[in-house]
């Protein structure tokens, strides 16, 4: 005997409750630490995306740095970040994550504020390259800190969840 097909309810209140419950079960972690880290990650990645877009507009429109120069600078910074990420990991392991993270976040904030005073391409390149060290330090520190919160499969699951939230934040 074939199974009877499930009937869909036509009651919008029941449908809405099912959707909310199903979304919560599938996409929102039960772990409170993962939820807090996910909220922080979502805000951070959304803010980084917003800052990247507005920074590009600001430097091309108001400081009159050409699109090509801006793109080359960002490409240089991206390549350099790949080179320094591993040595930065060693530094994070050597020092305490909270203290290291505090100074990295403080430096990122100072470099972000300093971008208001850039008036030409050489200053922009110097600012982007130097601020890269603070940004990489902050990201590596965050990953190391999160890695210490869980062990084994729970760590892998938490990090995968964080990557998914990062992708959502970037997409927004």
Q: What is the pLDDT of residues 16-67, one digit of tens each?
A: 555 555 556 566 777 788 888 888 888 888 988 888 889 899 999 999 999 9
Alpha helices in the chain (DSSP H): 12-27, 32-61, 67-94, 97-114, 121-147, 152-171
**Calpha distance 6→3 (Å, rounded):** 9
Instruction: Judge contact between 140 and 97, C-beta under 8 A.
Output: no
**Calpha distance 162→140 (Å, rounded):** 14
Selected residue with higher pLDDT from 4 and 28: 28
73 falls in which pLDDT band (50, 70, 90)? very high
**Ramachandran region of residue 152, left (φ > 0), alpha (ψ -120 to 50) or beta?**
left
**Calpha distance 160→60 (Å, rounded):** 36
Selected residue with higher pLDDT from 97 and 77: 77
Mean pLDDT across the chain, nearest whole number?
Answer: 83
């Amino acid at each position: 005997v074939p199974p009877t097909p499930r009937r869909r309810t036509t009651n919008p209140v029941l449908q809405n409750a099912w959707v909310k419950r199903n979304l919560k079960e599938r996409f929102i972690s039960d772990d409170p630490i993962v939820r807090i880290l996910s909220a922080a990650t979502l805000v951070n990645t959304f803010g980084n995306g917003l800052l990247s877009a507005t920074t590009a507009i600001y430097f091309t429109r108001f400081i009159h740095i050409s699109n090509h120069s801006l793109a080359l600078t960002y490409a240089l910074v991206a390549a350099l970040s790949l080179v320094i990420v591993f040595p930065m990991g060693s530094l994070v392991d050597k020092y305490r994550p909270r203290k290291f993270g505090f100074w990295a976040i403080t430096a990122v904030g100072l470099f972000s504020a300093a971008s208001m005073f850039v008036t030409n391409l050489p200053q922009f390149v110097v600012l982007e390259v130097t601020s890269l060290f603070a940004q990489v330090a902050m990201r590596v520190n965050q990953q190391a800190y999160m890695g210490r919160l869980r062990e084994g499969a729970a760590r892998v699951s938490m990090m995968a969840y964080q990557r998914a939230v990062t992708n959502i934040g970037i997409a927004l």
